[in-house]
Amino acid sequence: MKILQVTPFFKPLWESGGVARVAYDISRNLHENGHEITVYTTNRSIYPNDLPTNRATCVDGMNVYYFENLRKYIPGMTPPVMPYRMPAVARREIAQFDIIHIHDHRTLLTVIASHYARKYGVPYVLQAHGALPQDTGSTWMKRIFDLIWAEKVILGAAGVIALNETEAERYRELGVDEDRIAIIPNGIDLAEYPDLPARGRFREKWGIDDATKIVLYLGRLDPTKGIDLLIRSFAGVAREFDDAVLMLVGEDMGHNEEFRELVRSLGLDDRVIFTGFVSKEDKMAAFTDADVFATPSFTGFPITFLEACLCGTPIVTTARGDLLTWIEGTVGYNAGYTPEEVTDAIVRLLADDALRARFGAQAKDLVRTRYNWQAIVREVETLYSDITGRNRGAADLGAGEHSPVGA
């Protein structure tokens, strides 16, 4: 198949978050499976880069266009992604593709790609990556975008990918037909983790002995992640375990002083550690050394959950935001979104070494057999085949309806 992937961010701009990583992993695995892959993306980054722009360049065997952003010339402009040369390329090329996979639905790349896809009759798959809700981030911009474009972009898709049942229900509420919804989770590239760090490295770096219980949060330190609830929950954990610590690992999103004040008000100054941003190596060392990984709130399908599983670290989360049903009773718990229930789930795990070991073993097995990219991309390929088959069938039917009788 000739497949076009459309994503606002792509390799090597990893700092943009999970969409870049997922779009790359899907594209690379499709290429390795023999498909011809083209990527439309941008050179938008918080760091200077010298990526070639507005022309195709080869990245790991794939043709990638890093479109320049109009914002470069108007620094005060609010829209973050304005690929001014993309329409000319899309008008010239899109008709040649068998299918288009669009990542992240609220971008001008999505508007342009979906417009020409509909114009030339090329089916496209839309993957929102947990971003369908309007109540996070720049809510007013999301509402304006949705008012103008969302219905056409979403309902015009031949298929949509939901990361979990919660997101599938959101698509249904927007009017997407059931037969166009596929639930396909994110995966993890096992080749990127050939050797996990030995236990103890992260503890040694932060002066934590092996007997101390570590409750780990790893990700952006943002209120939408339920950090305040986790801190309040840990106050209950600290009363049960004198030697437990909470480690908050991740970048300060401008709210750390609020979190530190909450820590102080609960008398947890010496029990809660803020590490700031850490390298990939230190991140995996943190997962390896933690006893429980806790994330109270999330959307989509965070890769951090799979990284915790790869390291055999049990998970505690809730159904606030989205829900991953495979966690409950297999690799951890989906607790209620209250300090008491999150505390109870963490305490149950910390108090039972055998339970943690069982959940850890099941987590490792699950990520290696179910949530690796090779298995996930096979599901994506099946979706593509179903959609292109339906599209060809509809085209043949339309041609037949206009053919002379007996022709």
Query: What are the tens digits of pLDDT across the range 262-309?
Result: 999 999 999 999 999 999 899 999 999 999 999 999 988 888 999 999
pLDDT bucket at 82, cuts 50 / 70 / 90: confident
Q: What is the mean pLDDT of the chain?
A: 90
Instruction: Specify the pLDDT at position 136.
Output: 55
**Separation of alpha carbons 35 and 61, rounded Å:** 11
pLDDT bucket at 219, cuts 50 / 70 / 90: very high
**Cα 380–384–389 angle (5° rounding)?**
150
Cβ neighbourhood burial of 70 (10 Å; 0-12, 13-18, 19+):
middle
What type of residue sits at position 154?
I
pLDDT bucket at 385, cuts 50 / 70 / 90: very high
**Of 297, 299, 4, 260, which Cα lies nearest the Cα of 131?**
299
HSE-CB for 82 with a 13 A CA cutoff? 12
Per the model's pLDDT, the better-predicted residue between 80 and 1 turns out to be 1
Instruction: Specify the pLDDT at position 402.
Output: 54
Token representation of residue 176: 């997407």
pLDDT bucket at 38, cuts 50 / 70 / 90: very high
Report the relative pairing of strands 36-42 and 62-67 from DSSP bridges.
parallel
Over the range 325-340, which residues count as b (16 or more CB within 10 Å of their CB) and which as e? ebbeebbbbbbebebe
Q: For residue 137, is pLDDT > 60?
A: no
Q: For residue 363, is pLDDT > 50?
A: yes
Mean pLDDT throughout 143-166? 85
Mean pLDDT throughout 193-204? 93
The CATH architecture that domain 2-187+373-401 belongs to is 3-Layer(aba) Sandwich (3.40)
The CATH architecture that domain 191-369 belongs to is 3-Layer(aba) Sandwich (3.40)
Mean pLDDT throughout 232-252? 96
pLDDT bucket at 144, cuts 50 / 70 / 90: confident
Instruction: Specify the pLDDT at position 130.
Output: 84
Q: For residue 149, is pLDDT > 80?
A: no
Helices (H) and strands (E) in the chain, counts: 14, 14
Mean pLDDT throughout 172-185? 95
**Of 332, 335, 319, which Cα lies nearest the Cα of 363?**
332
pLDDT bucket at 119, cuts 50 / 70 / 90: very high
Q: Which of 70-84, 286-300, 377-391 has the lowest mean pLDDT?
A: 70-84
Domain with CATH 3.40.50.2000 in the chain: 2-187+373-401, 191-369
Helix (H, G, I), strand (E, B) or coil at 292: strand
Instruction: Specify the pLDDT at position 49.
Output: 83
pLDDT bucket at 310, cuts 50 / 70 / 90: very high
Instruction: Specify the pLDDT at position 406.
Output: 42
Instruction: Specify the pLDDT at position 6.
Output: 97
Q: For residue 346, is pLDDT > 90?
A: yes
